[in-house]
A and B are shown apart, each in its own frame.
Chain A
Amino acid sequence: MGPNRMINKEKRRNCICTLILIAAVLGICGFLEANKYSYSYAISIIERSMVYAVVAVSMNLVNGFTGLFSLGQAGFMALGAYVTAIFTIPVSQRASVYYISGINPVIAGIQLPIIVALILGGLVAAGVAALIGFPVLRLKSDYLAIATLGFAEIIRACIAAPQFDTITNGSYGLKSIPGFTNIFQPLALSVICIGLMVLLINSSYGRMFKAVREDEIAAEAMGINLFKTKELSFVISSFFAGVSGGMLAMFMRSIDSKTFQVALTYDILLIVVIGGIGSVTGSVIGAFIVTAGREILRFFDEPLMLGGVQVPLFRPGFRMVIFSILLMIVVLFYRKGLMGTNEFSWNGIFDFFKHPFKKKSKKMEGKA
């Protein structure tokens, strides 16, 4: 068998595997959709995971691929969520939502289709990111982290401020946001968003991002405009964070400024770190593991009776302690996370099954 035929054969195999995977995903989603009422819990976990997957990949785009330690995700999600919510709440219900201080006449009559509102939310987040980027992106690692964190808090403070009550409904939050009608909507949205980001990462722009991550000075010497590249990555990441914020608003049906606290950014950081900083696949897997894990570990929060004796540790909050210890273990001992900087590929999986330990020994040789 010639090498060409080998490659063709592999290609065909990969193609078939991909088709099977897509069919399986669609099949599972279709099954869940058909039995919506008995699997509503599973569906809500999957939908939340999809939303988190989008924002985790967007965070990875900035932190993992461009090497900028930005912690502003929650702020951009808040912008996207509020824009989406404001323009999609049915006009007839607005009076009951803004019952405290009334609605600003400018936005009172405007209702946009969901997709348009989501994109608009993303654009607003991207626009704000572009403005913030000018001063902030000149800063180096830890200063950047604290400045973006600070901006996220400023955005949240502005949303909750009484001055904007007629637009954001202040501290009462927004409700009656139209939700997803079926599981395929968030699936399609997240696949499109993540797909676009993967295309970007694999393009020449993506290579520019990686060059900046590896060595700023070398990248600059190669003719890459540092500031433009960073700004591009930051703005695009914020756009998708905004879209995912809008998706989160649709998933939760009601939002308020407390949803978008720093803790949300930390949750997403947890997903990115567990999945592997610099791996899109890792972020997606991480989003599902963390979201599902959080629900499955709920029994830690329930009082547990063993042989008639109540085990003392099990009470509300224990789950989150376990989660944070898990994060610490990953950070301290498995710094690469699940995937490191590797991406999913069929060849990788088949190679792994053919020679489970070959890769490791190769690496060892390389080191020696």
Chain B
Amino acid sequence: MSLTTFLQQCLTGISLGGAYALIAIGYTMVYGILRLINFAHGDIFMMAGYFMVFAMASFPWFIALPVVLIVTTVLGVSIERVAYKPLRSAPRMSVMISAIGVSYLLQNLATYLFTALPMGYPEIPVLKKVYQLGGLSASFVTFLTPVLTLILVYLLMTLIQHTKMGMAMRAVSKDYETASLMGIDINRTISITFAIGSLLAAVGSILYFTDRMTVFPFSGSLPGMKCFVAAVFGGIGSIPGAVVGGFIIGIGETALVAAGQSTFSDAFTFVILIVILLVRPTGIFGEKTTNKV
């Protein structure tokens, strides 16, 4: 393999990883606060893809983008309100089944509304413009994804570390009940967490689908699971961890595809999951927790 091909593959991997990182943040934040795998997160990402198809059909891209971001955020928050909020005190298995139910519902709803046939993803001319960099050639979106991911993560970290809202989020994820005794509005904090997660999923979806060209009702389920693995890999609850995990999964997967093992590129993710859970269950950046009787 020549150096150019190698660098080209690296670039693809990093770009894919950036999109994964944005989705993984949604998982890690929700898990940090609710201790819930939001199975529906991958499907929110898929719905954002469909929103983009329809928004682009009626608006120019600079209006379509904010519309998609807002609609996806509203979707994420309303899912939390309808499906998770009534189950705050229920056993964890019920909440998880509810999350699976939402995922099932969104997939079936997408099949019903948009049919099971893949739909062409609209092209944003600015993002698709091909640039040459030495021997490398890639569309603008490939270069943009990792940069945008890092900027967004920086902003998010600032929000969490230096604002009152961020402090509330940290408090809720540390100890749910004490936080509410301290006068923190739990429901509002959780809603904001879902809003941020869905917003980042929408950004990730635009970056991811611009490279993939098509959306179909199940296009969210596998990336969703992979991003969850990324979140676990980095240490669930930790945002830098999710980003690192996202990049590693993205690069690893691209490397396997480049090596001609594309059948096993999906399996690779789950092997990573098992290995990390056995070797270091709290992930790379995770905090150690002890079980109390």
Contacts of A327 in B (CB 8 A): 101, 104-105
Q: How far is the CA of A187 from the CA of B236 in the complex (A)?
A: 46
Chain A residues, CB < 8 A from B228: 146
Cβ of B7 within 8 Å of any chain A Cβ, yes or no, is no
Q: Which size bracket describes the interface of B in this complex?
A: 35 or more
Q: CA of A123 to CA of B112 in the docked complex: distance in angstroms?
A: 39
- Check if B267 sits within 8 Å of A331, measured CB to CB: no
Question: What sequence of 0s and 1s flags, for each residue 104-119 of chain B, a beta carbon within 8 Å of any chain A beta carbon?
Answer: 1101110111011000
Chain A residue nearest to B95 (CB atoms) is A331
Bound form: Cα–Cα A142–B98 in Å: 13
Q: A135 to B37: give the CA distance in the assembly, Å.
A: 20
A318 interfacial by beta-carbon distance below 8 Å: yes
Known: A262-B221, A324-B105, A327-B101. A157 touches B266 (CB 8 A): yes
**Residues 262-282 of B contacting A (Cβ, < 8 Å):** 263-264, 266-267, 269-271, 273-274, 277-278, 281
Give the docked Cα–Cα distance between A273 and B111 (Å).
23
A146 to B111 Cα, complex, angstroms: 24
Q: A328 and B273: CB pair below 8 A?
A: no
Q: How far, in whole Å, are A24 and B293 apart by their CA atoms in the complex?
A: 51
> In the complex, are the beta carbons of A142 and B90 less than 8 A apart?
no
Which residues of chain A are within 8 angstroms of B107 by Cβ–Cβ distance? 263
- Is B277's CB under 8 angstroms from A154's CB? no
With A150-B229, A153-B266, A160-B263 known as contacts, the answer to whether A139 contacts B96 (CB < 8 A) is no
Contact at B270–A328, with CB atoms within 8 Å? Answer: no
**Do B104 and A157 touch across chains, with their CB atoms under 8 A apart?**
no
Tell me, yes or no, whether B168 is within 8 Å of chain A by CB: no
Chain B proximity of A170: nearest CB distance (Å): 10
Q: Which of B116, B222, B277 contacts A147 (CB 8 A)?
A: B277
Separation of A273 and B98 alpha carbons in the complex (Å): 10
Q: Which residue of B lies closest to A272 (CB)?
A: B97
Interface bits B28-44 vs A (CB < 8 Å: 1, else 0): 00000001110000000
Do B225 and A157 have beta carbons less than 8 Å apart?
no
**Within the complex, what minimum Cβ distance (angstroms) separates A305 from chain B?**
19
Q: List 24 A-B contacts (CB under 8 A).
A: A135-B277, A138-B277, A138-B278, A139-B277, A141-B93, A142-B35, A146-B229, A147-B270, A147-B273, A147-B274, A147-B277, A150-B225, A150-B269, A153-B225, A161-B264, A262-B221, A266-B100, A315-B112, A323-B108, A324-B101, A324-B104, A328-B83, A328-B101, A332-B86
Which positions in A face B, CB cutoff 8 Å? Answer: 63, 67, 69, 135-136, 138-139, 141-143, 145-147, 149-151, 153-154, 157-158, 160-163, 217, 262-263, 266, 269-270, 273, 277, 315-318, 320-321, 323-325, 327-328, 331-332, 335
Given contacts A146-B273, A153-B270, A161-B264, 13 further A-B contacts (CB under 8 A): A138-B277, A143-B232, A146-B225, A150-B270, A150-B273, A153-B267, A161-B263, A277-B93, A318-B112, A320-B111, A321-B105, A328-B83, A335-B90
